[in-house]
Amino acid sequence: MMAKLLAPEVFMIVKVVAVFIIVLTMVAVGTWVERRGAAFIQDRVGPNRVALFGKFRIMGLAQPVADGIKFFFKEDVIPANADKILFVLAPLIAFIPATMTFAAIPFGRSFDINGVHYFLSILPPATNIGVLYVFAIGSMGVYGIIVGAWASNNKWSILGGMRASAQIISYELAMTMAVVGVVLSTGSLRLDRVISAQTGLWNVVPQFLGALVFFVSMFAETNRLPFDFAEGESEIIGYHVEYGSMKFSMFALAEYANMITAAALFVTLYLGGWHFPWLDQWIWGSILAFLLKLVSILWIFVWVRWTLPRFRYDQLMRLGWKVMIPLSLVNMIVVALFLAYRG
Amino acid sequence: MKKEVKLSFWDRLYLPAILVGMGITIKHFFKNLFTPPSKRYTVEFPERKKDVPEWYRGLHRLNTRDDGSVKCVACYCCATACPADAIFIEAEDIDDLDESYPREKRPKQFIIDLHRCIFCGFCQEACPEDAIVLTNEYEITQLSRDEGLITMEELIKTPKKKMD
């Protein structure tokens, strides 16, 4: 059984399916955690009514299922003046890159059995483009937003889309330059090298500034509060006003999938990936360590969302261009100087 | 008005303030996480019911005498006092007049339109016989408009006010 499972092709398929299922499950559970977490933070109870088969309440964990069923059976409205092809395509453009980016991330230590090398990431690490791949695909996400906003043919959605794309593009600069520090200190774009370079000392400690910039930019990149100008659900109108039913749900799923990928990337780049004292001596332990870190970062997303109010747009731009980019430059230069003088 | 607020360097860093704020929210989170549902602020309705105060004005009740007949004498005081015109009474004569306790009328029909009623309690105030009272019953829902017209038979069955 185990030997069959370990045939390279089968192992690959098992990995893809497992990752896809786990990411999508985390998306679903994430919506539940967000709503119940928000409720508890605000002294409320949150969704706890939905019961499996009308009997098992399990703290409302069936809520995402109910939401999914609701979204599937809702009427699917396409506005009369919308660009129909783009309107249908936009949620897919948002969703696919969000799930694709996870492919490059190593979620456990690689191992050798019978002289065959097995790695725990979907893309082989030897492709040498790990960091680049993630950023290249990750920045495709903005197309989903801008195409969706444009295709809706609605002035509020196009304004929301413009805000969101300006924000994402500005913070991408800071984010990428913060990552340059990691790439410099590792000397490779391969994410498995990035992780193995962090054995003993995680990158957060020597590159605290870079980690901070990356962490803040992550919120802006994934359109999460305090930077949720794309959606602005509480008062300003966002890019998906015209969307309903499953198409709207796709945008929401894309946001959560983006969150998971961004958190996974932060864990990989700054928190030592699957490294964890004592735990990472086993393969399962390393996967568990990675998941633990991932879940904690995801919780911070929720936690921050219900703590901070939204920035004003000019404050957002000032923070992006006048604080985050200089800070990431400082981080890059410090790392570069340190590497140059250490020899 | 322009408010000049001088922020110190520490304030301008934002991060310490953010950390303090996150401390506050997580305190609330854990407080609610470890509070049993019965002690939370939210009263989860169908399972737990909120105790209403004694003066609460809920569903109407027609009181009865010891022999089971309605106390109402069909004087129309409540119907006259009703600002929402929610009470409809049809009186009828009592043939066998009891000399010891003379009464001439009793309601043949006593209908309250719950969709019109504003639960002001004027009927209760106007009633000379203490026949109509408003109870603590607040679960008053109907599936149709007709069910909202409650008759004398139903009004007698309304549970009495709980006096603690």
Percent of chain B with pLDDT over 90: 41
Rounded-to-integer distance, Cα A214 and Cα B148, Å: 61
CB A244 within 8 A of CB A236: no
Residue A220 exposed, middle or buried by CB count within 10 Å (0-12, 13-18, 19+):
buried
3-state DSSP call for residue B64?
strand
Q: What residues does each domain of chain A span?
A: 1-73, 79-106+125-342
Rounded-to-integer distance, Cα B58 and Cα B79, Å: 18
pLDDT class for B110, splitting at 50, 70, 90? Answer: very high
Residue B143 exposed, middle or buried by CB count within 10 Å (0-12, 13-18, 19+):
exposed
The chain B residues in contact with chain A (CB within 8 A) are 18, 21-22, 24-26, 28-29, 32-33, 37, 40-42, 44
> Looking at residue B121, what DSSP letter applies?
-
Nearest Cα to A30, choosing from A298, A225, A296, A264? Answer: A298
Query: Given this model, what pLDDT does residue A310 score?
Result: 85
3-state DSSP call for residue B11?
helix
3-state DSSP call for residue A216?
helix
Query: Given this model, what pLDDT does residue B60 score?
Result: 92
Phi first, then psi, for residue A116 (nearest 5°) are -100, 140
Instruction: Work out the minimum CA distance from B21 to partner chain A, whole angstroms.
Output: 6
Rounded-to-integer distance, Cα B113 and Cα B149, Å: 4
Question: Does A308 sit within 8 Å of B18, measured CB to CB?
Answer: yes
Number of A–B residue contacts, CB under 8 Å: 36
- Pick B42's closest partner by Cβ from A37, A45, A303: A45
Chain B positions touching A45 (Cβ under 8 A) are: 37, 40, 42, 44
Q: CA angle, corner A116, sides to A115 and A117, nearest 5?
A: 115
Antiparallel, parallel or unpaired: β B87-93 and B105-113: antiparallel
Q: For residue range B21-42, what is the model confidence (pLDDT) as tens digits?
A: 999 999 999 998 898 888 888 8
Count Cβ neighbours within 10 Å for each residue of A138-177 and write b for 16 or more, e otherwise. Answer: bbebbebbbbbbbbbbbeebbbbbbbbbbbbebbbbbbbb
Chain B positions touching A320 (Cβ under 8 A) are: none
Half-sphere exposure of B162 (CA within 13 A, CB side): 7
- Pick A40's closest partner by Cβ from B18, B24, B32: B32
- Pick B44's closest partner by Cβ from A45, A304, A306: A45
Antiparallel, parallel or unpaired: β A111-113 and B132-134: unpaired
3-state DSSP call for residue B74?
coil
Instruction: Work out the minimum CA distance from B2 to partner chain A, whole angstroms.
Output: 18
CB distance from A43 to chain B under 8 Å?
yes
Q: CA angle, corner A308, sides to A306 and A310, nearest 5?
A: 110
CB B123 within 8 A of CB B87: yes
**Angle, in degrees to the nearest 10, between helices B15-33 and A283-305:** 100
**Closest chain A residue to B22, measured at CA:** A307
Residues 6+ apart with CB under 8 A from A74: A244, A245, A246
Residue B126 has pLDDT above 90, yes or no: yes
Structure tokens at A289: 């360590």
Rounded-to-integer distance, Cα B135 and Cα B155, Å: 11
**Closest chain A residue to B45, measured at CA:** A49
Half-sphere exposure of B101 (CA within 13 A, CB side): 3
Instruction: Work out the minimum CA distance from B33 to partner chain A, whole angstroms.
Output: 7
Question: Does A45 sit within 8 Å of B28, measured CB to CB?
Answer: no
Query: Given this model, what pLDDT does residue B7 score?
Result: 82
Q: What residues does each domain of chain B span?
A: 60-157
H helices present in A141-279, as ranges: 141-151, 155-186, 191-196, 208-221, 245-270
Instruction: Work out the minimum CA distance from B43 to partner chain A, whole angstroms.
Output: 9
Tell which CATH classification among 3.30.70.3270, 3.30.460.80, 2.160.20.60, 3.30.70.660 matches the domain B60-157. 3.30.70.3270
* Residue from A43, A215, A299, A303 to probe the interface with B (highest B Cβ count within 10 Å): A43
Is the alpha carbon torsion for A226, A228, A229, A231 positive or negative?
A: negative
Rounded-to-integer distance, Cα A230 and Cα A189, Å: 30
Count Cβ neighbours within 10 Å for each residue of B62-91 and write b for 16 or more, e otherwise. Answer: bbeeeeeebbbbbbebbbebbeeebbbbeb
Query: Given this model, what pLDDT does residue A1 score?
Result: 54
Query: Given this model, what pLDDT does residue A3 score?
Result: 62
Nearest Cα to A226, choosing from A163, A311, A324? Answer: A311
Question: Does B41 sit within 8 Å of A307, measured CB to CB?
Answer: no
* Residue from B19, B22, B25, B34 to probe the interface with A (highest A Cβ count within 10 Å): B25
pLDDT in tens, chain A (343 residues): 566 666 778 888 888 898 889 888 898 898 899 999 999 999 988 888 888 887 777 788 888 888 889 988 998 888 888 889 999 999 998 888 888 888 888 888 888 777 777 888 888 877 778 888 888 888 888 888 889 999 998 888 888 888 888 888 889 889 999 999 999 988 888 888 888 888 888 888 888 899 999 999 999 888 888 888 777 777 777 888 888 888 888 888 888 888 999 999 999 999 988 888 888 788 888 889 999 999 999 999 999 999 988 888 888 888 889 999 999 999 999 999 998 898 6
Rounded-to-integer distance, Cα A150 and Cα A161, Å: 8
pLDDT class for B81, splitting at 50, 70, 90? Answer: very high
Residues 6+ apart with CB under 8 A from B104: B73, B93, B94, B97
